[in-house]
Amino acid sequence: GAGVSQSPSNKVTEKGKDVELRCDPISGHTALYWYRQSLGQGLEFLIYFQGNSAPDKSGLPSDRFSAERTGGSVSTLTIQRTQQEDSAVYLCASSLWGRAAGNTIYFGEGSWLTVV
Amino acid sequence: KQEVTQIPAALSVPEGENLVLNCSFTDSAIYNLQWFRQDPGKGLTSLLLIQSSQREQTSGRLNASLDKSSGRSTLYIAASQPGDSATYLCAVRTGNMLTFGGGTRLMVKP
């Protein structure tokens, strides 16, 4: 597609429910990143994918968070048993892989999650 | 661990001023540095990418410089306009990780 697409754009959920956030990267981009931005805070790295594999899961804040990517394209970030502190905007980004020095990273508009 | 700091955290200027935003990072072994703009309620828009071998990049009224050895980058905005009001973020790429600064919130007053 023309850009990184994320859905839903907004989600309000009750504490304890599970949520799935979807990211559709730019076509041909093999690298995919998930970040979280809490209100008034900076960007917090969650996870990145190279193709379908996730070599670096160090940023996931707890075992309630998981992510997968299938077919080297769409990725889903799943948050189980949501807590109020999970409220944030979840940003997805993608880039080409290989010559890392020259690869611009492109962000989607984000999925705004509110846990009530 | 890479740490990125942006100063100032907030800046308010009258329209027409030239201004400089600063970004510093602790690990100079970077692949590249990218400046982004974020409008309220929106995602990040890439402004400029500077590769580690480059000293600066220009796009319109924007000029970004990189001094890798001292761990610094600046974003220069010429003839600022109210439409430039946004949060500006710098991010450095080290290996597979992109580490962000806390951002500078810019307000350009008409």
Which residues, at least 6 apart from B60, have a Cβ–Cβ distance to it below 8 Å? none
Q: Is the pLDDT of residue A102 over 70?
A: no
User: With a CB-CB cutoff of 8 Å, which residues 37-76 of chain A face chain B?
Assistant: 41-43, 45, 48, 50, 55-56
Strand blocks (E) in B1-110: 4-7, 10-14, 19-25, 32-38, 44-51, 56-59, 62-67, 72-77, 86-94, 97-100, 104-109
- Which range, of A53-57, A76-80, B30-34, averages the lowest pLDDT? A53-57
Please tell me the distance in Å from B86's CA to the nearest CA on chain A. Answer: 13
pLDDT band of A101, cuts 50, 70, 90? very low
pLDDT digits (tens, 9 = 90+) for B35-80: 999 998 888 999 999 999 999 999 999 999 999 999 999 999 999 9
- Which range, of A33-42, A59-68, B22-31, B80-89, averages the lowest pLDDT? A33-42
> Contact, B95 vs A33, CB < 8 A?
no
Tell me, what's the pLDDT at A2? 77
Angle at B27 between CA B96 and CA B52, to 5 degrees: 65
Tell me, what's the pLDDT at A28? 87
Cis ω before B40 (30° cut-off from 0): no
Site from B34, B42, B96 to mutate, A interface, most A CB atoms within 10 angstroms: B96
Q: Is the pLDDT of residue A100 over 60?
A: no
Q: Which chain B residues are closer than 8 Å to A41 by Cβ?
A: 102
Report how far residue B7's alpha carbon sits from residue A107's, in angstroms, rounded to the nearest whole number.
Answer: 23
pLDDT digits (tens, 9 = 90+) for B91-101: 998 877 789 99
What b/e string do you get for A14-35 counting C-beta neighbours within 10 Å, with b at 16 or more? eeeeebebebbbbeebbbbbbb
Angle at A103 between CA A101 and CA A104, to 5 degrees: 125
pLDDT digits (tens, 9 = 90+) for A45-58: 999 898 888 877 88
Site from A9, A36, A43, A56 to mutate, B interface, most B CB atoms within 10 angstroms: A43
pLDDT digits (tens, 9 = 90+) for A86-97: 999 999 999 887
Classify residue A1 by burial, with Cβ atoms within 10 Å: 0-12, 13-18, 19+. Answer: exposed
Question: Is A28 at the interface with chain B, CB within 8 A?
Answer: no
